[in-house]
Amino acid sequence: MFEIISNIVAALLTLFIFSFLYKDNPFYRFAEYLLVGVTMGYAIPLVYTNAFIPFVYRPIFLEGNFWLIIPSILGILYTFRFSEKLSWLSRYPIVFGMGIVGMGVPMSMHSSVLVQMRYAMRPIDNINTLIIFIGTVSILLYFYFSKPHKGLYGKFTNIGIWFMMVGFGASFGYTVMARISLLIGRIQFLLGDFLGLIK
Amino acid sequence: MKRQIPLIIVITLGFIFVAHTFIPSKTSVDFYDWWVSWSKAISPFAVVLGILSLFMVHGTKIQRKAPNWQYSLVTLAALVFTAFAGFAWGTSEGTPFMWMFKNVQMPMSATMFSLLAFYIASAAYKAFRAKSPQATLLLLAAFIVMLGQVPLGAAISKWIPETSQWILNVPNLAAKRGIATGVGLGSTATALKILLGIERTYLGSD
Amino acid sequence: MTFWEKIQEIDRRWIYLVVLLCIIIPLLIPFNSKTYVTEPTSNLYKKIDSFAGKEDKAMLLSFSHDASTMAELFPMEVSILRHCFERNIKVFTICFSPAAAPLMAYAINVAKEDYENLESGVDYCNFGYKPYGLFLPIVLGMGDDVSEAVDTDTDGRKIKNLEIMKGIRNYDDLNLIVDFAASSAVFSWITYARVRFGANVAAGVTAVMAADNYPYLQSGQLVGMLSGLKGAAEYEKLVDVFAAYEDEQNPDGREFSQEVIKNTWVPIMEKTISYTGDTEMQTDVELPYKFKQARIGMNAQSIAHIMIIIFIIIGNVGYFLSKKNNNEV
C-alpha cells in the first residue's frame, strides 16, 4: 500500500512537470518550486553528516585539533558575501581553494594537450590516420585567429570547418539519443511502476 | 590590500603546488596533507552560502508580495521540511528523508531533463535546415550516426553501423581532438593567468 | 496557404504527441531486436573480466551523476555490477555528490537481489558519499593506500579491516576505475589517476558526452566506454552471453570471444540465447526486466530516431518547397 502511494506521488509530480508541454500552469510551477526546495534541503543533512561532523566537529571538539578552528572561521567568512562593506572577507576561503590550480596546470596540460598530440603524431600508414591528421591540423589552424584566413591558408582552414560539421553532426546524433533515452526512462516508470502495464 | 593579499595567497599557493607536482619530497607531501585537512574543514560552509542565498531571494519575494510569491513559500517550506526530516529521522534507507528524495526529487529531476526530448523533436522539425553544404553534411552525419546507434539501422543495412563507427572513429575524432586540444590550451592559459595574478574575476568586484 | 506552408506552421504540441506515441507504443509492445556490440564496449568488458576470481585485483565504480540521467546510466551500472557478481570480481563504489549516494545504493540493491551469497565487505564494498572537497585527496591518496585515503565505508566501518581489502593496497591492485558521468568528470580521473599512477580508467557516459570522448579512447587514456542507453544495451548482451552463461562446461560463465558475440543473439522476450545456425540455448528463467531494461528501451529508441529523421526531412522539404513557391510568386 505504501509503495502504491509512493508511486502515485512520484507519478503525479512527473505528470505535473509534463503538463508544461501543453502550457505553463500552476501545477508545473508548484512542482518546479518544490524541486528547488527539496534539492537544497536534501543537501543540508548530508553535508552536515558527511563533511561537518567528520572534518570540523570531531577533530576540533573530540580529538582536540584546535588548529582547525582557523579554517572553520575561514569557512564562515563565505557568508560575508552578502554584506556590502565586508564582502571582501569572502575572498579568503575562495582563494585558499583556488591554490590547487597550480597542480592542475601541468596535469591538464599533460592529459589534454601533450598526450593528445603524441597520439596525433602517429605514422600515417593508412587513409584513416591521414584523414585524422589533416582534420586535427586544419581545425587547430582554424582556431588560430591571429593570422587572417586568406588564400591557401584560408582554403586549408576551411577543410577544418567541414571536419567540425561532421563532428557536430555526430554529437547531434548522440544528443538525440541521450534526450530520447531520458524520456524513455520516465515513460518506463509511468507505464511500469505506476500503471503496471509493463512487467 | 583587500585584493592584493588574496592575490598573493593564490600566487604563493599555486606555485607551491606546481613544485609539489614535480618534487616528491616529504616537506611537499606534508604541506599537501595540511592543505587537504584545512580544505576539508572549509568545505561544509559553502552550503551555508547557498542556503542563505535561497532564503534571501525567496524571502524578499514573500516580503514584497512579488508576483507568484506563494510559490516561494513552497520552496522554503520544502527546504525546511526536507532538512528537518534528515536531522530528525536520519538519512538512511526507509526514512522520510530518503522517501522524499526517491519519490519527490528523483522523479521530478529526471522529468525536467526528459522534457528536452520533446524540444529536440520540435527543433528538428522547425529549425534544422540544410541551408548550406556544411549544414547538409552535418545533417547527413547526424542521420548516419542516429541510425547506426539503433538495431533498426543494422537491420536496414550492415553498412550503416559500420559507417557510423567510421564517422565516430575518424572525422569525429579529428574534430574532437582539435577542439579538445584548443580547449586544453585555453584552460591551461587561464590557469596560468590565475597563477600569475592576471586573471582576477574570481575575486569579485570591490 | 499551401499544404507545405501549413505543415511548417503546425502547432508544436502535435509534434510532442507524436514523440510520446513513438515512445509509448514500442514499450507497450516490446519486440526482439539485435544488439550489435561495438569495440569500446567489448574492450571494457574484456578488461573487467580479466579480474575474474582474482584476490589482488579490484575495480572502482565512481558515480558522478544525479537522478536526471538515471535512465541512461542506471542500466549500465546494474549490468556491470551483475558482471562483477557473476564472475566474482571485487567491486567498490564511491560518489562525490550527495545526489548520487542513493542511486549508488539502489543500483547495488537491484543488482544483488538475485545473488543470495553476496556479502558487503567481502564481495563488494560501498565507500559511500565523500564530499567533493575530498575528490582530489582521495583520488591522489588511493595511489598510495586506498584504506587510508577513503578511511570508512558507507556503514562507518574502517575499510582496512574489511576482508575485501585483502590484496588491495593501491591503484596497482585497484586497477580499473569506471566513472559513470553526465559531465566531463571522467576527465578528472584521467588527469589525476591515470597520469600520475597509471590506473586504467573507463567511462560510462551519457550519449551527449560520448562523441567528445573518442580522442581519449583512441589515445588509450580510456580503456573502454559505454555510450548512453546503447552502451548499456551492448553490455547487457555481453553479460547474458558470457558472464551469466551457464552450461556443463562453463558453470561460472565463459570467456569473451569475438566470434561468439558476433553470431549470438539474445531474444529478450524469450527464454533463449541463439547462435547463428542451429544452436540454441534454453535458459531456465526468463530474464528479469532489470537486466534487459536498456535493450527494451532501445526498441523505443529505434522508432524515435526514425521519427526525428522523418521530421527533419519533412521540415526541410517543406522549407525548400515553400521557398521555391515564394520565389516563383
DSSP notation for A121-175: S----SHHHHHHHHHHHHHHHHT-TTS---HHHHHHHHHHHHHHHHHHHHHHHHH
Residues in chain C: 329
Q: Residue A25: is its pLDDT beyond 60?
A: yes
With H, G, I as helix, E, B as strand and everything else as coil, classify residue C174.
strand
B143 inside 8 A of chain A by CB: yes
Report the residue from A49, A140, A161 with minimal CB separation from B181.
A140
pLDDT of residue C283: 60
Q: State the angle between helix axes of C70-86 and C228-238 in degrees (0 to 180), rounded to the nearest 10.
A: 20
Give the pLDDT mean for B156-176: 90
pLDDT at A46 over 90: no
Domain layout of chain A by residue ranges: 2-102, 125-194
Within 13 Å and on the Cβ side, how many CA atoms surround B79?
21
Give the Cα separation of A67 and B74 in Å (integer).
41
What residues of chain A lie within 8 A of the CB of B167, using their CB? Answer: 166, 169-170
Complex ipTM more than 0.90, yes or no:
no
C207, C227 contact by CB (below 8 A): yes
| Angstroms from A151 CA to nearest CA on chain B | 20
pLDDT at C155 over 90: no
pLDDT (average), residues B128-152? 91
Q: Which residues of B touch C106 (CB under 8 A)?
A: 102
Interchain pair A13, B107: CB under 8 A: yes
Q: Is the pLDDT of residue C278 over 60?
A: no
What's the pLDDT at C277? 54
Q: What is the pLDDT of residue B205?
A: 67
Say what the pLDDT of residue C281 is. Answer: 63
B43-77 core/surface letters (b: 16 or more CB in 10 A; e: else): bbbbbbbebeebeeebeebeeeeeeeeebbebbbe
Residues C199-218 have a mean pLDDT of 90
Q: pLDDT at residue B192 above 80?
A: yes
Could you give the angle at which helices A151-188 and B171-195 cross, rounded to 10 degrees? Answer: 100
Nearest CA among B163, B137, B128 for reference residue C308: B128
Among C residues 205-264, those touching chain A with beta carbons less than 8 Å apart: 206-208, 210-212, 215, 218-221, 227-230
Question: Exposed, middle or buried: residue B170 (CB in 10 Å: 0-12, 13-18, 19+)?
Answer: buried
Interface test with C, best of B97, B150, B173, B177 (most C CBs within 10 A): B150
pLDDT surpassing 90 at residue B36: no
Report which of residues C323 and A41 the model is more confident about: A41
Closest CA to A198 of C28, C301, C296: C28
The distance of B35 to chain C (nearest Cα, Å) reads 10
Residues of C in contact with A188 (CB under 8 A): 27, 71, 293, 296-297
When pLDDT is averaged across residues B169-188 and rounded to a whole number, the result is 89
pLDDT higher than 70, residue C276:
no
- Does residue C69 have a pLDDT over 70? yes
Residue B75: per-residue pLDDT: 94
Chains touching A (3+ CB pairs < 8 Å): B, C
Query: Which whole number is the average pLDDT over B9-29?
Result: 87
C225-227 and C264-265 strand pairing: unpaired
pLDDT in the model for residue C49: 94
**Is B40 within 8 Å of C18 when comparing Cβ atoms?**
no
Angstrom distances, CA of residue B143 to CA of A168, A176, B167, B172, C55: 12, 10, 11, 14, 46
Which residue of chain B comes nearest to A171, CA vs CA? B142
- Average pLDDT score over chain C: 87
The set of residues, in sequence order, having a beta carbon less than 8 Å from that of B141 and lying 6+ positions away, is A165, A166, A168, A169, A170, A173, B167, B171, B172
Distance (Å, whole) CA B172 – CA A165: 9
C212 with B176: Cβ contact below 8 A = yes
**Residue B8, number of CB atoms within 10 A of its CB:** 12
A12 reaches B (C-beta below 8 A): no
Closest CA to C123 of C175, C46, C55: C55
Contacts by A61-69, CB closer than 8 A, 24 or more apart: A68/B37, A68/B38, A68/B41
Quick: pLDDT tens for A158-169.
Answer: 999 999 999 999
Residue B133: pLDDT above 90? Answer: yes
**Percent of chain A clearing pLDDT 90 (strictly above):** 48
pLDDT digits (tens, 9 = 90+) for B90-125: 887 788 998 998 899 989 988 998 999 999 999 999
Residues C297-306 have pLDDT tens digits of: 898 999 999 9
pLDDT higher than threshold 80 for residue A78: yes
Contact partners, residue C238, CB within 8 Å, separation at least 6: C37, C41, C42, C45, C83, C256, C261
For the segment C94-105, the average pLDDT, to the nearest whole number, is 89
Higher pLDDT, C66 or C285: C66
* pLDDT digit string, tens, across residues B78-94: 999 999 999 999 887 78
Whether C268 has a pLDDT exceeding 90, the answer reads: no
Asked if B152 is an interface residue toward chain A (Cβ–Cβ < 8 A), one would say: no
Q: How confident is the model at residue C275 (pLDDT cuts 50, 70, 90)?
A: low
C319/B contact by beta carbon, under 8 A: yes
B82 close to A38: Cβ distance less than 8 angstroms: yes
pLDDT computed for residue A84 by the predictor? 83
Q: Does the pLDDT value for residue C68 go beyond 70? A: yes
B161 contacts on C by Cβ (under 8 Å) = 36, 38
Nearest to C212 by CA among C189, C241, C238, C182: C182
Chain C positions touching B146 (Cβ under 8 A) are 305, 308-309
**Fold held by C39-291:** Rossmann fold (3.40.50)
Asked if A164 and B179 count as a contact pair (C-beta separation under 8 A), the reply is yes
Smallest Cβ distance to A173: which of B52, B146, B202? B146
